[in-house]
């Protein structure tokens, strides 16, 4: 039996997260074999995703009822703007892609749907709902990067070593852990219908995380 709410929902999402880690896009990040055109597509779409992700954190900070929670989301917002998005800009600079190109790219179907799922939770939901929706992204990236690092992938000669280093950094992993603890605190004592709803948000975001890797692998855009 799981010791906490987040452990319980993480177990229920285990198959989705396993398939994420085994996805060829993720494996290519790890061993350096990922084709640059696929990574470029990912960078553009993930940059658009992160712009909306920042809005989610800003809304969460505004809804926070105490300074500690407000500080957590303000910190996550700052880290996303200044660390994650800078990682994308640095990679794009190496690939000859200017920042305006990133900002003016068009969101693909999965990017559009995933960000709308998160924004709906942020605008209409509680802090608990927001955390349940964003945790698969924060914790999922930390787990994937840690797994690739443990396998000894992303070495000094890999083009993707900075990606792994960013998501295994102390700041990023601590942010994911703090969100995990916050969700456990917020879920404690809630009736089953509410924890079931939180679980649904978590599972939906987990599925979108998988679909984002798949979209990036196939470079899937609007068919018409």
Active site residues: 137, 209
Instruction: Answer yes or no: is pLDDT of 129 > 60.
Output: yes
- Residue 64 is predicted with a pLDDT of 96
Per-residue pLDDT tens over the stretch 60-99: 999 999 999 999 999 999 999 999 999 999 999 999 988 8
What sign for the dihedral angle of Cα 11, 141, 112, 187?
A: positive
| Separation of alpha carbons 208 and 141, rounded Å | 13
- Tens of pLDDT, residue by residue over 44-61, are 999 999 999 999 999 999
pLDDT at 157: 63
- Residue found under tokens 């500690």: 68
CB count within 10 Å of CB 151 equals 11
Q: Tokens representing 47?
A: 């940059």
Contact between residue 35 and residue 223 where contact means Cβ atoms under 8 Å apart: no
Which CATH code is given to the segment(s) 5-215? 1.20.910.10
Residues ≥6 apart with Cβ < 8 Å to 29: 39, 148, 153, 154, 160, 163, 164
Return the pLDDT at 69. Answer: 97
* pLDDT reading at 194 higher than 60: yes
Residue 3 has what pLDDT? 82
CA angle centred on 142, ends 167 and 162, rounded to 5° = 20
Q: Could you tell me if 201 and 129 are in contact, meaning their C-beta atoms sit under 8 angstroms apart?
A: yes
Report the alpha-carbon distance of residue 224 to residue 210 in Å, rounded. Answer: 23
Segment among 55-64, 122-131, 148-157, 206-215 with least mean pLDDT? 148-157
CB count, 10 Å around CB of 78? 12
**Number of residues in the chain:** 224
Average pLDDT, the chain: 95
The pLDDT value given to residue 154: 57
| Residue 162: half-sphere exposure toward Cβ, Cα within 13 Å | 12
Tell me, letter by letter, the H, E, C secondary structure of 62-74.
Answer: HHCCCHHHHHHHH
DSSP 11: H
């Amino acid at each position: 039996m799981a010791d906490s709410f987040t452990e319980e929902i993480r177990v229920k999402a285990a198959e989705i997260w396993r398939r994420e880690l085994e996805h060829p896009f993720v494996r290519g990040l790890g061993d350096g074999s990922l084709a640059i055109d696929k990574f470029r597509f990912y960078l553009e779409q993930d940059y658009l995703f992160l712009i909306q992700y920042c809005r989610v954190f800003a809304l969460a900070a505004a809804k926070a009822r105490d300074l500690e929670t407000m500080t957590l989301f303000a910190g996550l917002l700052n880290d996303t703007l200044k660390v994650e998005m800078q990682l994308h800009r640095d990679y794009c600079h190496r690939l000859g892609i200017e920042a305006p190109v990133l900002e003016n790219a068009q969101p693909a179907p999965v990017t559009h749907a995933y960000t709308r799922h998160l924004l709906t939770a942020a605008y209409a939901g509680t802090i608990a709902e927001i955390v349940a929706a964003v945790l698969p992204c924060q914790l999922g990236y930390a787990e994937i990067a840690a797994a690739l690092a443990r396998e000894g992938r992303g070495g000094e000669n890999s083009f993707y070593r900075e990606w792994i280093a960013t998501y295994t950094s102390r700041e990023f992993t601590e942010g994911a852990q703090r969100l995990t603890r916050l969700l456990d605190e917020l879920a404690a004592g809630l009736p089953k219908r509410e924890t079931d709803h939180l679980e649904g948000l978590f599972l939906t975001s987990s599925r979108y995380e998988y679909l984002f890797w798949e979209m990036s692998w196939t470079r899937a855009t609007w068919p018409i």
